[in-house]
């Protein structure tokens, strides 16, 4: 009986650790550039990209992604910081990059499976990219760009659907005061369990 109780306690502790890990940002450095996360498909709640000569990346203290659906448009927002290196991110600019594009109705995380292998041309007139730096919003004049959802996976825990893992790549070139700016080598690996449907 004592042994059964011990196994139950260990199992509960392992489950608790699993749930905790799913909420955290896990940074696995890319083998070619240690300031970028490696491309993964494990739901590490991480993203990163080169922003000119700096980096745009997820941090440990900001929820890395928000998903909002309204009026036929999905707003996929990466929330993080800009800095010279991944290890230097405190007290620097917080930045949100929102990709908005039309989709069929998204009511909860399960509906995000429609993004599997979906590629968005960010120059399309139906799309919009908005950058928010320290609460200052700007609709970007996109010159070129792609948002590629390479994989969408439905994750089950304890036989219950828990979240969708969205993994993919992105790049973007836009005008800032008539000068071209590049965000390149972008990659993301995000576990999404909350979708905000404003229409409901």
Within-domain flag for 119: yes
Whole-angstrom Cα distance, residue 76 to residue 112?
11
Mean pLDDT taken over the chain? 88
In a domain? residue 142 = yes
Residue-wise pLDDT for 24-73, tens only, equals 999 999 999 999 999 999 999 999 999 999 999 998 889 999 999 999 99
Q: Note whether residue 20 is domain-resident.
A: no
Q: Which domain holds residue 114?
A: 25-197
Q: Is 149 strand, coil or helix?
A: strand
Percent above pLDDT 70 for the chain: 86
**Domain contains 10:** no
Domain assignment present for residue 70? The answer is yes
- The count of domains in the chain is 1
In a domain? residue 48: yes
Percent of the chain with pLDDT over 90: 74
In 3D, which of 174, 143, 169 has the Cα closest to residue 36? 169
5: which residues sit within 8 A by CB, 6+ positions away? none
Please count the CA atoms within 13 angstroms of the CA of 89 that sit on its side-chain side: 18
Is the Cα torsion angle 128, 141, 134, 33 positive or negative in sign? positive
Residue 163 CA: distances (Å) to CA of 23, 26, 45, 105, 110: 11, 17, 12, 17, 7
Cα distance between residue 169 and residue 175, in whole Å: 21
| 45 close to 19: Cβ distance less than 8 angstroms | no
Q: Is the dihedral of CA 111, 112, 118, 122 positive or negative?
A: positive
Kindly state the tokens that stand for 53: 């000569």
Q: Is residue 124 in some structural domain?
A: yes
**Listed residue (29, 42, 97) closest to 64, CA to CA:** 97
User: What is the rounded radius of gyration, in angstroms, for the C-alpha atoms of the chain?
Assistant: 18
In a domain, 11, yes or no: no
130-185, pLDDT tens digit by residue?
A: 999 888 999 999 999 999 999 999 999 888 999 999 999 999 999 998 899 999 99
Residue 191 φ/ψ, nearest 5 degrees = -95, 115
């Amino acid at each position: 009986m004592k042994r059964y109780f011990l196994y139950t306690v260990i199992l509960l502790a392992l489950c608790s650790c699993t749930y905790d890990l799913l909420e955290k940002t896990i940074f696995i450095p890319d083998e070619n550039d240690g300031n970028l996360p490696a491309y993964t498909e494990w739901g590490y709640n991480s993203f990163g990209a080169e922003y000119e000569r700096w980096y745009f990346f997820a941090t440990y203290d900001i929820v890395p992604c928000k998903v909002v659906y309204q009026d036929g448009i999905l707003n996929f927002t990466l929330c993080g910081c800009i800095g010279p290196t991944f290890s230097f991110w405190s007290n620097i600019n917080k930045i949100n990059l929102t990709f908005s594009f039309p989709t069929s109705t998204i009511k909860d995380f399960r509906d995000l499976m429609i993004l599997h292998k979906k590629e968005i041309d960010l120059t399309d007139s139906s799309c919009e990219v908005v950058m928010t730096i320290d609460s200052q919003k700007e609709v970007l004049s996109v010159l070129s760009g792609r948002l590629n959802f390479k994989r969408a996976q439905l994750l089950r825990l304890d036989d219950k659907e828990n979240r969708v893992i969205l993994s993919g790549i992105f790049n973007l070139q836009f005008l800032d005061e008539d000068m071209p700016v590049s965000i390149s080598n972008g990659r993301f690996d995000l576990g999404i369990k909350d979708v905000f449907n404003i229409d409901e």
